[in-house]
Chain A
Amino acid sequence: DAKTTQPTSMDCAEGRAANLPCNHSTISGNEYVYWYRQIHSQGPQYIIHGLKNNETNEMASLIITEDRKSSTLILPHATLRDTAVYYCIVRAYTGTASKLTFGTGTRLQVTL
């Protein structure tokens, strides 16, 4: 599975959009981009995933560049409860179980 690069930490003011970047320059054509977040001492929470088209759900939007070498997770109106570690993961569908490989993620701090 392709390796991802994320900033170690980011800050965002409450009510503003949080834009979390992820670089995955070695991504292959059959690899999906997944985003999870983990609030301290809890299990990771699935946010969104996509292959090549932009995706939006009730939590966030995922913007994938045309060459698929990078993506951005957008939380449109960040709140204090969005403070967490955000993980960007790429994984190929191989017809087997989802062996997600987690890096160290981006620690997002939302402030008043």
Chain B
Amino acid sequence: DGGITQSPKYLFRKEGQNVTLSCEQNLNHDAMYWYRQDPGQGLRLIYYSQIVNDFQKGDIAEGYSVSREKKESFPLTVTSAQKNPTAFYLCASSTTGTGAAAFFGQGTRLTVV
């Protein structure tokens, strides 16, 4: 099946620990994105990447880091510097053509205790 896979679906971590969320796509899309969603809120962009080995900060990048070593993969690390890491994290991908639509994974719900 073609699509975007995020793993795990649920993740628990202790406060102060870094944690990496996985995102893999087999859609041959150049662009990938990470969003964060808090209860009752819309999505906010954390980081995005237009091409391998390149990425840019979104609106709320502080406390997060990413890498894009392969076209298919765009892992997100939530570091201990992120003050409120508990949230629903969503990965998406798209082509970079005119009017391209982004397609989302099913999300990872991170709970930090």
Contacts and interface: CB of A to CB of B under 8 A. Distances in A.
Q: Are A and B co-members of a single complex? A: yes
Interface of A: 32, 34, 41-46, 49, 51, 87, 93, 95-105
Nearest to B103: A46
A100 B102 contact: yes
A34 B101 contact: yes
A41 B109 contact: yes
Given A46-B102, A96-B50, A97-B49, 8 more contacts: A42-B106, A43-B105, A44-B104, A46-B104, A98-B101, A99-B48, A104-B40, A104-B41
B42 interface: yes
A41 B88 contact: yes
B6 to A, nearest CB: 8
B96 interface: yes
Interface string B44-86: 1100111000000010000000000000000000000000000
Q: Which of B4, B101, B109 has the most CB of A within 10 A?
A: B101
9 contacts: A41-B107, A41-B109, A43-B107, A44-B92, A45-B104, A97-B31, A99-B33, A100-B102, A102-B44
A97 B43 contact: no
Contact of A93 (B88, B92, B98): B98
Nearest to A103: B42
B110 to A, nearest CB: 13
B21 interface: no
A102 B42 contact: yes
Contacts of B2: none
Given A43-B90, A43-B107, A44-B90, A96 B96 contact: yes
Q: Which 7 A-B pairs have the closest CB atoms?
A: A43-B104, A102-B42, A97-B31, A102-B43, A97-B50, A98-B94, A98-B102
Contacts of B48: 97, 99
Nearest to B35: A102
B100 interface: yes
B101 A46 contact: yes
Contacts of A43: 4, 6, 90, 92, 104-107
